[in-house]
Structure 1
Amino acid sequence: MALAVDEFEESRVFGVGKTGDGPPATAVTPIHRLTSYVRTESGSAVLLVVVSVIALVWANSPVSASYVDLWHTPMSVRVGDYGIDMDLHHWVNDGLMVAFFFLIGLEVRQELAVGSLRDRSRALVPLVAGVLGVALPALIYLAIAGREAPQGWGVVVGTDTAFLLGVLAMVGPAMSNQLRVFLLTLTVVDDFLAVSIIGVVYTDDLRWGPLVIALLALVCLWLLSRTAEWRSAPYVGIVIVLWIATLESGIHPSLAGMAAGLLVPAFATERYEVENAKRLFRDYWQSPQAAVARTARRGLARSISVNERLHDVLRSPVSLFVVPVFALANAGIDLRGGVLSASLTSTITWGVVLGLVIGKLVGIALGTWAAIRLGLGRLPDGVGRGSVLGGAALSGIGFTVSLLIVGLAFTDTRQAGMATVGVLVAMVLAGSLGWLIFTRARVRWGETSADLPTILEPPVNLDLDHVRGPAEAALTVVEYMDFECPFCAKSTGMWTDVHGHFGDRVRYVVRHLPLHDYHPHAHTAALAAEAAAEQGRFWEMHDLLFAHQHALELTDLVGYADDLGLDVEQFIVDVDSPEVAERVGRHEASAVASGAVGTPTFFLNGTRHRGPHDARTLIAALEEIETEMSAARRRS
């Protein structure tokens, strides 16, 4: 039993092992393929377009009265003498959409805590671009439509992040992850300012009693986050109270949703929490009882931040239900009776169109250029000027936020229709302009990618690299690692499981990527491993360093050398030698050339692996490579 438990801990506790384990896979049906596509970024964008077209057709059809009647259907929720009475349209805009803005707040907090906004050098360029991308569109709108409808300037300040990323997936470079991160950071600023504008500018009839309750709810959320409460239910309960209080106060609930999301704590997963969850799951494996399972579930939940768990739960319902329902409720504008022709000659319509399409493009491009010229930061690696211009053009897709503000800014139905037409026209023009710019960038500037490199550079060299397994193995796993990284392969048991599955058909190579800003001892540990390699004991030192990740001072390293029976004096000399330092530096330069920016980063047969790096996922990816190699041999 002890042997079985040890094997289980290393290779099965988190689902790793043979890919054939478990029930047989079900056949992939057309319905499965459709639902899988809709869950992608491009699929969700197509879904929004389809729903918007349905709304427009319905609102202009012979049964258009049913569309109007549907959204004016009264609905109420009552508890005793207290109740909330709104029509269906307001339940969508003031109720369901709170989940959308809460999700935005969660994303902003995540970016501030562990994402791109934590790094000043990476954040300042999109921050400046985001601010100008809000200010310039508003100025353009006011210059065109300020006399007729000045209150509509807020319509052009927002960007629909989901729509933007969906269209980017369809018309942008095939590899655009770095551009995606840049645009996400930019839209964080955009969304934060847009929601603040909604809450401050478009608020009437402020009631102080409910407002005080809302502020107290925010204080409670802050205090709850300070107590390190890991369960999500208390946060959700307070958010519901906050929503009701904000609704009663007269402030638009979108601001409450954003503020609540910002107060839900986010943090990087700690290795000790994962190890604790692993032990609890082991207990369940030995004693599969309900109480033990509940404890294991709690251990798994504690290892992931409340922010990340709520984000994961809300992401699909918001993108697949909340936003499409919002589009169905708000995109249906009756264009009959000369409304369309009046819109095409209206300053409101063209103020919205030019504010979104031209204002966003010029504002973001100008902000990016100014931030770089002022030395505030630089563009992400792999992102060129054409990609920035293309992304800036796509930012003119306002849609969700813009349509919400249309409903708040315009009390006149005809003006609201003109503004909505402007939002829809801007969506088409911004998408088309983005496509033209990306196409031009590919042809004129050779920007076929807006991402980090994906090919291992230089390839594996048996004379220079450290290799485990047969030198002639057909499958190769290369890991860029850091001896203080808690999730590198030695800690997770990845290589043990991969080798156990493939045997001598796979080899394992490690290269150093010490993260100097986060792991102060990693570089010295890398030097120690290379110094041990001078005496033919690299892998022994490699394993020892991972086994003692929290004791990597120089005196500890010398002690490990002594434990391995190395010539300690020569080891100390080699640790300080320029040849060993140059070897580690060569690995770091290789990481930059290969697009590895963090640890662990894996390359499978020379191509960077994306996504999870658990053993089961890597085994499946290697099996796919092996299948492709066999097919290629048969064709030849």
Structure 2
Amino acid sequence: MSRTRSAMPSSIRRFLQSQSSAGLVLMGAAALALIIANSPLGPNYETILHVYVGPLSVGHWINDALMAVFFLLVGLEIKREMLDGQLSTWPRRILPGIAAAGGMMVPALVYLALNRGPTAAGWAIPAATDIAFALGVIALLGNRVPASLRVFLAALAIIDDLGAVMIIAVFYTAKLSLPDLAGAAIAMAVLISFNRFGVRRLTPYLLVGAILWVLVFRSGIHATFAGVMLALTIPMQCTPGRPDGDSDSPLHKLEHALHLPVGFIVVPIFGLANAGVAVLALPAEALVAPVTLGVALGLLIGKVTGVFGFAMLAVRFRLADMPAHAGKRQLLGVALLCGIGFTMSIFITLLAFPGSQILQSEAKLGVLAGSFVSGLLGYALLRSVGAARPKADPAV
């Protein structure tokens, strides 16, 4: 077993294992939030989130500051995968790239088919995949899922995250403050100069990155985007003359340092603070509201249709190869898991409907329902396929 596992690069194996474990913790945090919100403690739950600590409420510290660390890690992963990972060459990018494109476009179209006017602002909510949740479900399946499909899912989710970051920057940016935007541009220029002049210590990057966060927060662009901007300037090259390879790269060191706190602290806190929908207090019509249905069906139908359909078209027209040791039903199962859109979907919900608690609750309800059903169906399908063909993937 150890020999076969070594066929999978250790860095990817560590990434998948940590993301899978973090997904299970996130599931627990989301479930706890739902229980609290629908218990007698619900009012206290809401009150705590609105308590001000300094210039921001607890909820804003979580969504604007803590999540900037999450987006910093997302940016580091995107950069690493694009330069020296599963997305470093065009042949590796084609299948997950095409599948991710379909997985973003089709859910948005499903949502827009049910929503017009002000609620159309939520079109991007079902477009994102939660890699931690999805890999958490895969972790429950053990070796029933081929290693190639796990890597495919991880690569697709990275591209998904890149698309979500671009959507947030372009479509969910408020009125801009030009002086603060100019200051953010200067901070970015300083960070880029650090990179160009060979600065390899992380401290200068993080100090200027903190200033960048403040300026971006004040500029009108969502503050979490500062995390991605900072990540793109972190050098991936190792210090000249050092023999220890990736471990000496500033990017790898920072990414390694952030994985556990982000996966097991930042994202679960975000889930605990934002998944608490008081379902019992919602009017009955909220269950069939256009926003609720648009998000739920976008994740459940749009995601699987986009990911699986576009992937099969790519294979059919020989633009890419099917993942090794995987069949169509297994690919369909993974496409269903892509309908788990928790962290990024809820985050976009907050940006799409900033002034409406009702629309936010409906969108969150749709996220939870669509993600739960997608995860359940994906798990059941992959479990049945794996049980029928237990020796289909000797590489795992």
Question: TM-score, length-normalised on structure 2?
Answer: 0.89
The change in CA–CA distance for 1:46 and 1:212 in structure 2 (over 3 A counts) is same
Where 2:87 maps in the other structure, the secondary structure is helix
Assess if the C-alpha contact under 8 Å between 2:349 and 2:360 holds in 1: yes
Deviations 1:495-549 (A, max 9, x none): xxxxxxxxxxxxxxxxxxxxxxxxxxxxxxxxxxxxxxxxxxxxxxxxxxxxxxx
Give the match for residue 534 of structure 1.
Answer: none
Assess if the C-alpha contact under 8 Å between 2:18 and 2:259 holds in 1: no
Deviations 1:254-300 (A, max 9, x none): 22212222232224899x622xx6xxxxxxxxxxxxxxxxxxxxxx9
TM superposition shift of 1:205: 2.1
Are 1:388 and 2:331 matched, yes or no? Answer: yes
Structure 1 distance, partners of 2:149, 2:233, is 28
Letter in 2 for 1:396: G
1:135 aligns with one of 78, 84, 105: 105
Where 2:248 maps in the other structure, the secondary structure is coil
Bigger share in strand: 1
2:363 aligns with one of 415, 419, 440: 419
Assess if the C-alpha contact under 8 Å between 1:360 and 1:393 holds in 2: yes
TM superposition shift of 1:110: 0.6
**5+ residue gaps in structure 2?**
1-16
Assess if the C-alpha contact under 8 Å between 1:387 and 1:447 holds in 2: no
Structure 1 distance, partners of 2:180, 2:215, is 5
Give the match for residue 453 of structure 1.
Answer: 395
The change in CA–CA distance for 1:170 and 1:449 in structure 2 (over 3 A counts) is farther
Mean Cα deviation higher: 419-428 or 46-55: 46-55
TM superposition shift of 1:381: 2.4
Give the match for residue 555 of structure 1.
Answer: none
Assess if the C-alpha contact under 8 Å between 2:68 and 2:227 holds in 1: yes
Deviations 1:387-412 (A, max 9, x none): 22111111111111111111111122
Give the match for residue 406 of structure 1.
Answer: 349
The change in CA–CA distance for 1:377 and 1:421 in structure 2 (over 3 A counts) is same
Are 1:59 and 2:37 matched, yes or no? Answer: yes
1:189 aligns with one of 149, 159, 173: 159
2:63 aligns with one of 93, 97, 121: 93
1:254 aligns with one of 199, 224, 236: 224
The change in CA–CA distance for 1:126 and 1:42 in structure 2 (over 3 A counts) is closer
Structure 2 distance, partners of 1:308, 1:263, is 13
TM superposition shift of 1:51: 1.5
Structure 1 distance, partners of 2:67, 2:392, is 35
Structure 1 distance, partners of 2:361, 2:247, is 49
Deviations 1:27-61 (A, max 9, x none): xxxxxxxxxxxx85443223222222221222222
1:496-511 matches, within 5 Å, as none
Letter in 1 for 2:21: G
Assess if the C-alpha contact under 8 Å between 1:399 and 1:423 holds in 2: yes
Give the match for residue 374 of structure 2.
Answer: 430
Question: TM-score, length-normalised on structure 1?
Answer: 0.57
Give the match for residue 230 of structure 1.
Answer: 200
Mean Cα deviation higher: 178-187 or 102-111: 178-187
Structure 2 distance, partners of 1:177, 1:265, is 30
The change in CA–CA distance for 1:92 and 1:215 in structure 2 (over 3 A counts) is same
The change in CA–CA distance for 1:172 and 1:364 in structure 2 (over 3 A counts) is farther
TM superposition shift of 1:370: 2.2
TM superposition shift of 1:448: 4.9
Structure 2 distance, partners of 1:421, 1:217, is 39
Are 1:353 and 2:296 matched, yes or no? Answer: yes
Where 2:56 maps in the other structure, the secondary structure is strand
Give the match for residue 149 of structure 1.
Answer: 119
Structure 2 distance, partners of 1:269, 1:114, is 17
Assess if the C-alpha contact under 8 Å between 1:109 and 1:265 holds in 2: no
The change in CA–CA distance for 1:226 and 1:405 in structure 2 (over 3 A counts) is same
The change in CA–CA distance for 1:266 and 1:388 in structure 2 (over 3 A counts) is farther
Structure with the larger RCO, 1 or 2 (CA within 8 Å, 6+ apart): 2
Structure 1 distance, partners of 2:231, 2:268, is 21
Letter in 2 for 1:332: G
TM superposition shift of 1:449: 4.8
Structure 1 distance, partners of 2:95, 2:145, is 21
Letter in 1 for 2:242: E
1:378 aligns with one of 321, 326, 331: 321
Q: Percent identity among equivalent residues? A: 35
Structure 2 distance, partners of 1:303, 1:326, is 29
TM superposition shift of 1:447: 6.6
Structure 2 distance, partners of 1:268, 1:373, is 41
Bigger share in helix: 2
1:245-394 matches, within 5 Å, as 245-267=215-237, 273-274=242-243, 304-339=248-283, 341-394=284-337
Assess if the C-alpha contact under 8 Å between 2:314 and 2:320 holds in 1: yes
The change in CA–CA distance for 1:148 and 1:245 in structure 2 (over 3 A counts) is closer
Structure 2 distance, partners of 1:88, 1:254, is 16
What is the aligned-residue RMSD (CA, Å)?
A: 2.2
Mean Cα deviation higher: 392-401 or 381-390: 381-390
The count of aligned residue pairs is 379
Mean Cα deviation higher: 258-267 or 86-95: 258-267
The change in CA–CA distance for 1:120 and 1:337 in structure 2 (over 3 A counts) is closer
Structure 2 distance, partners of 1:388, 1:253, is 36
TM superposition shift of 1:231: 1.1
TM superposition shift of 1:175: 5.4
Letter in 2 for 1:252: H
Letter in 1 for 2:130: D
Structure 2 distance, partners of 1:41, 1:185, is 13
Give the match for residue 124 of structure 1.
Answer: 94
Letter in 1 for 2:374: A
Structure 2 distance, partners of 1:373, 1:222, is 43
Assess if the C-alpha contact under 8 Å between 2:27 and 2:133 holds in 1: no
Where 1:96 maps in the other structure, the secondary structure is helix
